[in-house]
Amino acid sequence: MSLYRPKGSRVYVMDFMFHGQRIRETTGMTSLTRAREVLSKRKQDLKDGAAGIRKQQAPRLLSVAAKDWQEVKQSKWSHRMQSIAAYALGHLLPEMGRKLLVDIDARDILKYQKARLTEGASNRTVNIEVGVLRQIMKRAGQWERVRNSDTWADVGMLKERDDVGRKLTSSEESMLILECGRSVSRCLLPFVVLLLETGSRFNTVRTLTWVRLTLPNAG
């Protein structure tokens, strides 16, 4: 038995064996001709899967792929990462959201970079936004095509400043500690001192808990 209509139903059901497994599913069709087409396609899909042939995905808009990417990644992100992704997509999608991923090329990205720089965005900000686009396209298997193009080889990511940070002098450090001690905030001084003494990042100290501290002279 391959196709039949259950008693009281107008919709055909397919029922067949494949590699020792019984497959019984509705075709969703009331026409026998259309039901046969569904059955034929289902059998071919099973054969392709068994042979290791991957089903080619239909082209998707960047906006659709971005939503899917967010849903998959969001549970693993910190609150800060969620904010970064939302901010980047807030600029990317109005400009490129209606484009199909397969149509986005290095020239589109170059145009986007120039537009954002004209708006006053920093190189670092633009690189983060393009980095989000890259992650979405990599997930869809489209980034290698962009990365290997001649246009991208000539442009790539924007050069970022590396002269922003510098070491505090002893007098600057003393002045900073003095002003923190004058603050009405009781936690500011120990917070800043801990940052200076350990070289930790802001969020590392901000989320620090007692169980993670080892005080050798305590107790």
Domain ranges of the chain: 3-50, 62-154, 170-212
pLDDT at 55: 58
pLDDT at 159: 85
pLDDT one digit per residue (tens) for the chain, 219 residues: 689 899 888 999 999 888 888 888 988 899 999 989 989 988 888 887 766 656 556 678 999 999 999 998 888 888 888 889 999 999 999 999 999 998 999 999 999 999 999 999 999 899 999 999 999 999 888 898 888 888 887 778 888 876 666 777 888 888 888 888 888 888 888 888 888 888 777 777 778 787 777 766 655
pLDDT at 20: 81
pLDDT at 208: 78
**How far apart, in Å, are the Cα atoms of 40 and each of 3, 22, 45, 124, 195?**
11, 16, 9, 53, 67
CATH class of the domain at 62-154: mainly alpha
* Single pTM value for the model: 0.55
pLDDT at 98: 93
pLDDT at 145: 87
pLDDT at 76: 84
DSSP for the chain reads --EE--TT--S-EEEEEETTEEEEEE---SSHHHHHHHHHHHHHHHHHHHTTPPPPPPP-BHHHHHHHHHHHHGGGS-HHHHHHHHHHHHHHHHHHTTSBGGG--HHHHHHHHHHHHHTT--HHHHHHHHHHHHHHHHHTT-HHHHHTSHHHHHS-SPPPPS-S--PPPHHHHHHHHHHHHHSS-TTHHHHHHHHHHH---HHHHHT--GGG---TT--
